[in-house]
């Protein structure tokens, strides 16, 4: 009986969703929506991820316009350029039946403001809801969702956010605020990874096993998933599969620098991080996990 009530409640809360962008994160998030009983129509530039999600129970949208026929559209695209070229399209938005578009990508605050204005012009609500968490976290439905936009829309979207995340953090009515929060969070994340990379290189160069240093730190000063997870990859020098591609980390640090410049906030540490990430990309690690930035610390130390 309890199982029947749970199923009935889930069906009552189900929402028809269009999902645009099926990279590793997008696929994991769309699967969570399907698992919670939400009908999902998916669109992606390449067909293979669409076929994978159709096998999991989604339906395929033949075009972006078809995806925007759903009442709610979620998108998870790589960067400002892709979002602007695909979704900030006057013709697409003018013909959309959707009531709200939720952009879950890490994009600039400037793009969020342009997007909100353009959507409003065509009668659509725009919500920014970038997420904290890697692909394994997304697959488990444990993302932290940073959400900003019209409060009524955030309330209506709660069942979808609950399907994908363990907590939603409402950050006000201005969608750009959610992107500022995500950029700040990723700036701190990359800073922590670079800091441990340098500490690990120092340990190794002086005869201390970096794994021993990691055990000390994660059980004393720095418990938690960032040092434990990324630190393990750094000590093992194992960067595949990539839960968060290094090239995307570089994109996010550049977003931090651009946002700082626009608001006259110096970020000297971000400049150092950008150069370390650029060095890693130049040496072929752009598609590896973000932890591969540690290769630059080892190279500088001639390890």
The helix (H) or strand (E) run that includes residue 100 is strand 100-103
Dihedral angle, C-alpha 104, 87, 30, 128, nearest 10 °: 20
**pLDDT interval class at 5 (50, 70, 90):** very low
With 0-12 / 13-18 / 19 or more C-beta atoms within 10 angstroms meaning exposed / middle / buried, residue 290 is: buried
pLDDT (average), residues 80-107:
98
Q: Read off the pTM.
A: 0.93
For 247, the token pair is: 């090239």
Query: How many other CB atoms sit within 10 Å of the CB of residue 221?
Result: 8
**pLDDT at residue number 14:** 86
| Residue tagged 């591969």 (tokens) | 292
Q: Where in the sequence numbering do the catalytic residues fall?
A: 182
Mean pLDDT of the chain: 95
Domains and CATH numbers, the chain: 2-173 (3.40.50.720), 180-300 (1.10.1040.10)
Q: Is the pLDDT assigned to residue 10 strictly greater than 80?
A: no
**pLDDT interval class at 12 (50, 70, 90):** very low
């Amino acid at each position: 009986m309890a199982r029947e009530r749970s199923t009935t409640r889930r069906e009552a809360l189900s929402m028809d969703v269009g999902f645009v962008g099926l990279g590793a994160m997008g696929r994991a998030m769309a699967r969570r929506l399907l698992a919670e009983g939400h009908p999902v129509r998916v669109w992606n530039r390449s067909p293979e991820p669409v076929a994978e999600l159709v096998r999991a129970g989604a339906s395929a949208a033949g075009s972006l316009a078809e995806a925007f026929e759903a009442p709610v559209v979620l998108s998870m695209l790589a960067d400002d350029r892709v979002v602007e070229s695909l979704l900030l399209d006057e013709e697409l938005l003018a013909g959309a039946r959707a009531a709200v578009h939720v952009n879950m990508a890490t994009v600039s605050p400037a793009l969020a403001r342009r997007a909100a204005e353009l959507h409003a012009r065509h009668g659509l609500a725009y919500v920014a809801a970038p997420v904290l968490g890697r692909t394994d976290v997304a697959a488990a439905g444990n993302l932290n969702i940073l959400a900003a936009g019209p409060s009524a829309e955030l309330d209506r979207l709660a069942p979808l956010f609950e399907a994908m995340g363990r907590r939603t953090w409402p950050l006000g009515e201005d969608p750009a605020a959610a992107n500022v929060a995500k950029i700040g969070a990723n700036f701190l994340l990359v800073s922590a990874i670079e800091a441990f990379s340098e500490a690990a290189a120092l340990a190794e160069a002086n005869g201390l096993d970096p794994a021993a240093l990691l055990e000390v730190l994660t059980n004393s000063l720095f418990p938690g998933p960032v040092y434990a997870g990324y630190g393990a990859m750094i000590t093992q020098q194992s960067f595949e599969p990539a839960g968060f591609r290094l090239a995307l980390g570089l994109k996010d640090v550049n977003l931090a620098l651009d946002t700082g410049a626009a608001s006259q906030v110096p970020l000297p540490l971000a400049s150092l991080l950008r150069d370390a990430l650029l060095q890693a990309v130049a040496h072929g690690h752009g598609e590896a996990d973000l932890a591969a930035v540690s290769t630059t610390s080892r190279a500088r130390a001639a390890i």
